[in-house]
Amino acid sequence: MSSTTGRIFKATTFGESHGGGLGVVVDGCPPRLPLSVEEIQRDLDRRRPGQSQLTTARTEQDKVEVLSGLFEGYTVGSPVAMLVRNLDARSQDYQHMREIYRPSHADFTTEAKYGIRNWQGGGRASARETIGRVAAGAVARKMLSVLANTEVLGWVSRVHNIQLDPFSDLNYSLKQVESSPTRCPDSAAAAEMGEAISEAKQAGDSLGGVVTCVARNVPAGLGEPVFDKLEADLAKATLSLPAAKGFEIGSGFGAVSLTGSQHNDEFVSDADGAIRTATNHSGGVQGGISNGETILLRVAFKPTATIASAQKSVTRQGEAATLEAKGRHDPCVVPRAVPLVEAMVCLVLADHWLRQRTVDVLEGLPPS
């Protein structure tokens, strides 16, 4: 029950870091959506390893094959199945993991749950599982773009103790984000962050950070008032990413420092007569439902659990042991987490967009 997300726009991922391949089946994407393999590959290229000095040395081309669901450049309503082969899998790199549990990894808990573990890599807990998410997210992104001109963009707003002013401009562009390997759109901060990551790598250590993500042009009315609040689904989606530890919508934890009169977003009419809010502490969502303002969220990622330095741990039998990691890894996952956060946000919004289609069916029959 674990590998599917979404109620209507559904993505089911499969595959492990080692084995025949990874991928995803996207079910529920509307037919007649123009879609090309290149659009999917573009997002995959943003997540793949080996993009810069700051990421893991594992080099995977991660070329996607669309197995089904496309015909003459359009979706046809059948599942869009996508496959990426594992090519640079080196099982021998993981021999040390066979007996010793890696701290703050999923080795121990995977065995606690399943009673068995594919020790050749991280199994489903591997960051490679996110390939399927990004491929599915690319389809969702395209749908949102065509249907509502919605744009989802994330960036690195913090690495360790280097952070952007949270009150800074949120109008960054994809070009600004992609102009640095850290994916921080502020060039000065980006340089600092890159340096910090390099230093951590040098020291055999790792860093965490925060990804900020916005969704622009989200129509009002998406979300649900109770369990499936839009912010709740966004929280679940992003907290399901490897290494995520915290989530905020709008003002987030910062809301606690304000009083109600400071925090409330007053309604105003704009020049076109549209009802807007004067501030956006709500982060684009009120009572679980989008209000038409920009959706704003932040996700905290812990420092990469795999570090080059020796660590104390225990064997499967509980005996003390020292672990010296040999697998390839990122000293800071946050730059590569940006397309992952975007993909999850796209999947949530696409699902809720379609859900809303089942709500506004009596639009032409106003009660009064």
Retrieve residue 267's tokens: 């309604």
Long-range residue pairs from 186-191, CB within 8 A, at least 24 positions apart, any chain: 189/162, 189/163, 189/164, 190/156
Give the separation between CA 35 and CA 42, rounded to whole angstroms: 12
Stretch that binds its own copies, among 40-48, 107-115, 168-176, 180-188 (CB under 8 A): 107-115
Q: Which of residues 36-55 bind its own copies (CB under 8 A)?
A: none
Stretch that binds its own copies, among 44-52, 63-71, 87-95, 168-176 (CB under 8 A): 63-71
Query: In terms of CB distance, is 44 or 159 closer to its own copies?
Result: 159
65, 88, 178, 195: residue in contact with its own copies (rule CB under 8 A): 65
- Judged by CB, which is closer to its own copies: 130, or 180? 130
Q: How many CA atoms lie within 13 A of 254 on its CB side?
A: 14
Judged by CB under 8 A, does residue 198 bind its own copies? Answer: no
Name which of 172 and 247 has its Cβ closer to its own copies.
Answer: 247
64 in contact with its own copies (CB under 8 A): no
Structure tokens of 261? 């009169």
Q: Please spell the DSSP secondary structure of 278-346, one letter per residue.
A: SS-TTTTEETTEE-SSPEEEEEEEPPPS--SS-EEEEBTTS-EEEE---S---SB-HHHHHHHHHHHHH
Q: Which is nearer to its own copies, 49 or 303 (CB)?
A: 303
- Based on the shown chain and the rule CB under 8 A, indicate whether residue 289 belongs to the binding site for its own copies: yes
Identify which range of 41-49, 52-60, 78-86, 171-179 contacts its own copies by CB under 8 A. Answer: 78-86
Tell whether residue 2 is a contact of its own copies (CB under 8 A).
yes
DSSP-assigned letter for residue 358: T
Which one of the spans 38-46, 88-96, 175-183, 290-298 is the region binding its own copies (CB under 8 A)? 290-298
3-state secondary structure 200-238: HHHCCCCECEEEEEEEECCCCCCECCCCCCHHHHHHHHH
Tokens 């594919």 correspond to 118
How far is Cα 207 from Cα 159, in angstroms, rounded to an integer? 7
Which 308-367 residues touch its own copies, going by CB under 8 A?
309, 311-314, 318-320, 354-363, 365-367
Task: Give CA–CA dist 327/58, Å, rounded.
Answer: 9
Residue placing its CB nearer to its own copies in the complex, 87 or 173: 87
* Min separation Cβ 175 and its own copies, Å: 26
Two tokens, residue 67: 């197995």
Structure tokens belonging to residue 291? 């209000």
Choosing from 57, 67, 87, 188, the residue that interacts with its own copies (CB under 8 A) is: 67
Interacting residues with its own copies between 230 and 269 (CB under 8 A): 231-233, 235-237, 239-240, 242, 244-253, 255-269
What part of residues 117-156 is at the interface with its own copies (CB under 8 A)?
Answer: 117-118, 120, 123-125, 129, 146-147
